[in-house]
Amino acid sequence: MVNLSQSPFHLTQEQSEFVTQTVTNLTLDEKIGQLFFVIGQDENLETFIETYKPGGMMYRPGLAASIKKNIQTIQKHTNIPLFFAANLESGGNGIISEGTWLGNPLQMAATDDTESAYQLGKVASYEANQVGCNMSFSPIVDIDYNFRNPITNTRTFGSDPNRVLRMAQAQARGLEENHVIPVIKHFPGDGVDERDQHLLSSINSLSADDWSTTYGHIYKTLIDEGAPSVMIGHIYQPAWERKLCPSIDNKDLRPASASKFLIDGLLRSELGFNGLAITDATAMVGYNVIMPREQLLAETINAGIDMILFNKNIDEDYAAIRKAVKTRIISEKRLDEAVTRIIATKVAQRLLTLDNKLGITIPETLALKPEEHAAITAKIAKKSVTLVKDRDKLLPLSPNKTPRIRLVVLGDSDEGGFKEGGKVTDLFKNGLTELGFEVTPYQMDFHEMFEEGVEDLKQKFDLAFYVANVETASNQTTTRLNWIQLMAANAPWFASSLPTVFVSTANPYHLFDVPYLSTFINAYTGTPETVTAVLHKIVGQEDFEGVSPIDPFCGDFLAKL
């Protein structure tokens, strides 16, 4: 069974006995309920809790007052306090609509200062704490090795494992400062493949040795420092499965979310992780294609994972686990081991007191500190914006030198899943206008499309200013620059004749699609503070301070010219 006196629990004898007794006193249905980390509910809260008795709940962003009311209602109604989690990857906006969008992790990395990552954790956890959110599905410790990966990208701290580790350590410290539990993810590590585990089981194809010196080093260090929880991805790591079982056939390889070799073998035995293991969302295609779901849920628990995130059909999933326990596919010992880790984590993290109460109180009054947190956001923005290249020395811009600007903004739509949603068109248009430029937003005109030549453009404009606010998002196969299909009319075909500046406020790899451009800037996140920092820098009011945490040239010699 689990040694509760060891890391990451460090429980006293009294606390350990309390955990053991609590698990013993739970009914079978209550134990099964603890295994499930369900999606946030807004209606019939008491009935839902009575019916399913879940161990955790994850909310998507909503109004603070509503989220807080729901969490308070549930915590008062349950016998065992729940984990309440959110994706606090970029700030408190991961849990509440009014929360601070501090910036994506890659923007923190671009400051090359761990203070930025610490503030990311601290601000996010402070705002989460205001509404009762006690767990963060971050830091992300994936390594952005493959620029074609459509999901890691700005969600990571970059392609340098040492920087990823330093930033993750700092973010976790900030989260813990306000009693929010960090969950490091996505084991065994995303960013090698160019595919999205939301859509299929992806592959970490590093050799066992290479994995151990990169991803493994990060996980081992954080585990040794007491990381309380790890999120398990729907990601294969074939080299380590083969190392642990040399005779294994390819058909028997499994993503980590169903692999006993990768969880009990690699994560727990090799890396020494004794804490709480949670799957990534099991609604993902990458999970459901492994094997029939009823069988898969039992395989997940038997692999050494303790909690199942989300459901397809909650009644079917509960019934599948109940059947697996009744038929001893999941042993009573394994069930109790998982529940013990869940209860022990709640005790160790002060969610559950020895008198069966919620240990961390939810503030009575919201106090979100918007001005203070906006100042932190602005400071990070100032340090992160990165000048990738300025071959023709177009910078600094000046209304005296290039007064008339054609502004072309790509992206900036409401389409797509759980994007951050920052729109930048008006921010750039108004900001450039205030700096004294005459700004004309690009408007597609099919008549002009085939009549507009270089000289026409030069008579109307002195400079083309491109902004790509094309955010990566889950469930998209690729995220690249997409032009108007008819003749790519909005592409910078004129760049060798008309000075052109390109700014990316999201994906840092767009230079791969426009390698011929002279001037390219990465801003990483489309916050208003970041746009302001870009504007200050392009006119020479501030220096560019950012240090690229990835290779923005994507290994392309043309992009470096």
Which residues belong to the active site? 280
- Residue with structure tokens 């022990």? 344
CA distance 118 to 195: 30
CA 157, distance to chain mean position in Å, is 10
3-state secondary structure 173-238: HHHHHCCCEEEEEEECCCCCCCCCCCCCCEECCCCHHHHHHCHHHHHHHHHHCCCCEEEECCEECH
Q: Do residues 18 and 354 lie in contact, with contact meaning Cβ atoms separated by under 8 Å?
A: yes
| Short-list 222, 267, 272, 225, CA closest to 244 | 267
In angstroms, the Cα distances linking 112 to 250, 387, 523 are: 41, 14, 14
Query: In the structure encoding, which two tokens stand for residue 247, read together?
Result: 């005779």
Beta strands in 297-450 (DSSP E): 307-309, 386-390, 404-411, 438-441
Strand partners, 404: 438
Three-state secondary structure of 33-55: HHCEEEECCCCCHHHHHHHHCCC
Strand ranges for 403-541 from DSSP E? 404-411, 438-441, 463-469, 500-504, 519-522
Strands 235-236 and 202-203: parallel
Question: Are residues 470 and 481 in contact, defined by beta-carbon separation less than 8 angstroms?
Answer: yes
How many Cα atoms within 13 Å fall on the side-chain side of residue 504? 31
Cβ(192)–Cβ(146) under 8 Å? yes
Q: Which two tokens stand for residue 542?
A: 């501030």
Q: How far, rounded to the nearest angstrom, does the alpha carbon of residue 255 sit from its chain's CA centroid?
A: 20
Asked if residue 36 lies in contact with residue 313, where contact means CB atoms within 8 angstroms, the answer is no
Q: Residue 204 is encoded by which pair of tokens?
A: 């970490």
Q: Which of 309, 356, 410 is nearest to 25 (CA)?
A: 356
DSSP state of 81: P
Cα 271 to Cα 219, 231, 240, 267: the distances in Å are 8, 15, 12, 5
Evaluate the CA torsion angle 502, 113, 213, 231 in order and state its sign: negative
> Which of 299, 306, 297, 308 has the alpha carbon at shortest distance from 345?
306
Sequence-ordered alpha helix ranges (H) in 303-363: 314-326, 332-348
Cα–Cα distance, 35 to 334 (Å, whole number) = 12
3-state secondary structure of 386: strand
What is residue 350's DSSP assignment?
Answer: T
The first and second tokens of residue 251, run together, are 């058909």
